[in-house]
């Protein structure tokens, strides 16, 4: 039994963290077991570039089924340049090998949005662990970074990102921006496929994604030292959707929770993205689509790197359950994307105060 499992007299439960709110799922075996997935579907994304709407609709049908039944899938043949992805992984290895003081210049505790460097064991999604055995670097939407060509308005005029200034680290910013731009362009196409999958016009979400909230998190997971360690504790993501590019380790480290409470390994497949639905899309679909619990345990003795890209609508967008997925007589709230996002971030921060009264400088928080 792992640290994230507990046993009551009659049942075993898997515990997880749903954007700051603890949840648990019963482990079902034998005749109690449900019909659920044991592997992620692989979907051929070549059709995302087709000029033919019927090809894109066919792709959307497969995507819709995966979002409903699993909440996760592999995007094969995604078309994002393989050389660019390999170069970004090389940059990650180089960045995380820098001396700690160079990385700590941009310690994420210095910013409201936790942008910059996150040190080992600072994130703690699973309270039963000593913290996430990972280090990371988070950047995201920031109108003051000229690379983003975003309009500077009173609400966007404050810098959010932090970038290292030491000469040995100057390669980092352009390397991350090359990846960020490629992933943002792919995500905008992906959004059209999601709209089609929901039987909506392809451009349905375009008006609320003119200046999307986006994040790249570069992550380094060293090999686990203890049986009870996790790279990132069990959680759901609290954006619209996530694209994960993972390094090629021989052993899978990312794991996805199925309806029977069993962890399904996500083997690294060359040149694919792992795509998952996150909490906002679950909300907007009235729960028709799954925001599936996942975690990372790097048990294969290898260094692992990954670079999730998180995509959400504009910060000031107002969203609610789409009309045709509403149940009669139900009342549905509307929420502002940025406010909801910050609320989830704040819950996450305050549920992981480190030590008494949050001493140790330490607000612990998760990723998305």
Ligand X SMILES: O=C(O)CCC(=O)C(=O)O
CA dist 256 and 246 (Å) reads 14
Kindly tell me which of 67 and 322 has the beta carbon lying closer to ligand X. 67
308 binds ligand X (CB under 6 A): yes
Alpha-carbon span 138 to 103, nearest angstrom: 12
**Is 133 a residue that touches ligand X (CB under 6 A)?**
no
Contact with ligand X (CB under 6 A) among 217, 282, 297, 365: 217
Residue of 60, 244, 283, 322 interacting with ligand X (CB under 6 A): 244
Which CB sits closer to ligand X, 72 or 186? 72
Report, in Å, the least distance between residue 230 CB and ligand X.
11
Q: How many residues bind Fe ion (CB under 5 A)?
A: 1
| 196 vs 275, beta carbon nearer ligand X | 275
The C-alpha atoms of residue 125 and residue 180 are separated, in whole angstroms, by 25
Q: Which of 133, 311, 90, 306 is nearest to 219 (CA)?
A: 306
Question: Taking a C-beta distance cutoff of 8 angstroms, is the pair 272, 74 a contact?
Answer: yes
- Min dist CB 181 to ligand X, Å, is 20
Based on the shown chain and the rule CB under 6 A, indicate whether residue 191 belongs to the binding site for ligand X: no
Q: Which of 254, 256, 281, 337 binds ligand X (CB under 6 A)?
A: 254
Q: How far apart are CA 91 and CA 324, in angstroms?
A: 45
The footprint of ligand X on residues 284-303 (CB under 6 A) is 294, 296
Output DSSP code: residue 146: G
| Residue 183, both tokens | 């992933």
Of 136, 264, 156, nearest to 211 by C-alpha is 156
* Residue of the chain from 246, 247, 290, 351 that contacts ligand X (CB under 6 A): 246
Strand 116-118 relative to strand 294-296: parallel, antiparallel, unpaired?
unpaired
Instruction: List beta partners, residue 221.
Output: 304
Of residues 161 and 366, the one with the C-beta less far from ligand X = 366
User: Which of the stretches 184-192, 208-216, 230-238, 285-293 binds Fe ion when contact is defined by CB under 5 A?
Assistant: 230-238
Helix extents (H) in 161-207: 172-197
Q: Which of 122, 135, 145, 237 binds Fe ion (CB under 5 A)?
A: 237
CA angle 14, 62, 308 (to 5 degrees): 55
- For ligand X, what does the binding mask look like between residues 64 and 103, x meaning CB under 6 A? ----------------------------------------
244 makes contact, choosing from Fe ion, ligand X, none, with CB < 5 to 8 Å by partner type, with ligand X
The C-alpha atoms of residue 108 and residue 307 are separated, in whole angstroms, by 17
In the complex, least distance from residue 217 CB atom to ligand X, rounded to whole angstroms: 5
Can you say whether the dihedral through the CA atoms of 172, 173, 178, 180 is positive or negative? positive
Is the Cβ–Cβ distance between 209 and 248 less than 8 Å?
A: no
The site for Fe ion (CB under 5 A) is made up of 237
The site for ligand X (CB under 6 A) is made up of 217, 219, 232, 237, 244, 246, 254, 294, 296, 306, 308, 367-368
């Amino acid at each position: 039994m792992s640290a994230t499992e507990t046993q009551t007299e009659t049942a075993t439960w898997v515990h997880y963290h749903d954007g700051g709110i603890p949840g648990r799922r019963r482990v079902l075996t034998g005749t109690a077991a449900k019909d659920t997935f044991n592997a992620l579907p692989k979907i051929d994304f070549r059709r995302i570039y087709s000029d033919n709407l019927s090809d894109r609709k066919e792709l959307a049908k497969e995507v819709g089924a995966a979002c409903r039944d699993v909440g996760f899938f592999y995007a094969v043949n995604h078309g994002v340049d393989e050389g660019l992805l390999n170069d970004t992984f090389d940059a990650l290895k180089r960045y995380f090998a820098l001396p700690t003081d160079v990385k700590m210049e941009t310690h994420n505790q210095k910013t409201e949005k936790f942008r910059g460097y996150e040190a080992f064991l600072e994130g703690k999604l699973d309270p039963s662990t000593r913290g996430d055995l990972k280090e990371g670097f988070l950047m995201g939407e920031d109108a003051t970074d000229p690379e983003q060509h975003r309009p500077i308005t009173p609400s966007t005029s404050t810098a959010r990102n932090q970038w290292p200034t030491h000469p040995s680290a100057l390669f980092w910013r352009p390397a991350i921006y090359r990846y960020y731009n490629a992933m943002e362009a792919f995500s905008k196409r992906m959004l059209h496929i999601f709209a089609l999958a929901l039987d909506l016009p392809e451009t349905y979400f375009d008006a609320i994604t003119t200046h999307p909230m986006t994040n790249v998190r570069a992550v380094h997971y060293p090999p686990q030292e203890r049986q009870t360690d996790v790279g990132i504790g069990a959680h759901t993501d609290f954006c619209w959707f996530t694209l994960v590019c993972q390094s090629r380790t021989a052993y899978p480290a990312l794991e996805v929770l199925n309806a029977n409470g069993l962890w399904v390994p996500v083997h690294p497949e060359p040149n694919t993205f792992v795509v998952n639905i996150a909490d906002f899309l679950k909300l907007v679909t009235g729960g028709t689509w799954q925001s599936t619990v996942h975690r990372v345990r790097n048990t294969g003795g290898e260094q692992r790197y990954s670079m999730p890209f998180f995509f959400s609508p504009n910060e000031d967008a107002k969203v609610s359950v789409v009309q045709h997925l509403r149940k009669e007589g139900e009342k549905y709230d509307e929420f502002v994307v940025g406010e909801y996002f910050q609320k989830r971030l704040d819950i996450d921060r305050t549920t992981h105060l480190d030590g008494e009264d949050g001493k140790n400088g330490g607000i612990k928080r998760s990723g998305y």
